[in-house]
Amino acid sequence: MLKQRIITALLLLPFVFGTILFLPLEYFSIVWALVMTIAAYEWLKLSNVKKVLPLVIGLIALNAVFMLVWFYPVSHLSVEWFILIAWLFIVVSFTGDPVARLQKCSATLYSIIGLLVGCVVILPTWFSLVVLHEHNPWMVLHVFGIVWIADTGAYFSGKLFGKRKLAPAISPGKSWEGVIGALVAVTLYSIVVSFWWREGIEQIQWLFVFICVVAAIASVAGDLLESVFKRASGVKDSGKILPGHGGVMDRLDSIMAAGPVFTAGYYLAGWL
């Protein structure tokens, strides 16, 4: 399993770096719309939408929205506030024991909730990545860096010090000590990045660091959110397309939280 994970990760890194840093905005948008379509397919399956016709209709509708946003962009302000309000709704809605609540829902209600949450998660993610890429492709890579650093910090801190469970009903392996380790790691990483992020300003940009830390917190929420639906559906992974890692959604769940939140903070700070 570990060997598979390493090989898959090594194959994915050139794709991520290449599409972000070397593709023009138009092609970047198309490639990542396709990636989000695969993630959306997996999310629909998690939401118990398994019949062919609803799956096809859902994926076509998603790509229609991608095209609509691309050709008729909504004002950044309204979209970014929508992202913030939507994630606030998710955090409030999934406190307590969300897995048990979802399992008590009827099949139809469960699918409706899954579809609504999927729209809130997937559409803003694609839009936020496109907006950041248009501004500066390195900012897209920075969002991925936040998630990677947070995951690494959480893993080692959790292994060494983890005692207090973060959300035992959702993800028993996560601890509060792991979250603290993730935030410390992201803080240090963001301080380093802040020295050169805006035309080489040689000082720490604390607002930038704060936005990165908030995005890291959101990445933890994104991971937990997908875990809620996986546990409610009784599956380990969202898919099998990535050997050793599971599905595309399993790799992007944290990005789908950190990306929109980082973009919202970046915009509200007046940098977009």
Q: What is the pLDDT of residues 147-169, one digit of tens each?
A: 999 999 999 998 888 888 888 87
Strand pairing class (171-175; 165-167) = antiparallel
- Strand locations in the chain, DSSP E? 165-167, 171-175
Strand-pair partners of 110: none
Q: Is 80 helix (H, G, I), strand (E, B) or coil?
A: helix
For the segment 134-152, the average pLDDT, to the nearest whole number, is 93
Stronger pLDDT, 65 or 230, i.e. the higher one: 230
Give the tens place of pLDDT for each residue, 200-210.
555 668 889 99
Whether 68 has a pLDDT exceeding 90, the answer reads no
Cβ-based burial of 132 (10 A; exposed 0-12, middle 13-18, buried ≥19): buried
pLDDT digits (tens, 9 = 90+) for 55-64: 677 777 776 7
Look at residue 23 and tell me whether its pLDDT is greater than 60: yes
Mean pLDDT value of segment 180-199: 86
User: What is the rounded average pLDDT for all residues in the chain?
Assistant: 82
Distance of CA 72 to the CA centre of its chain: 24
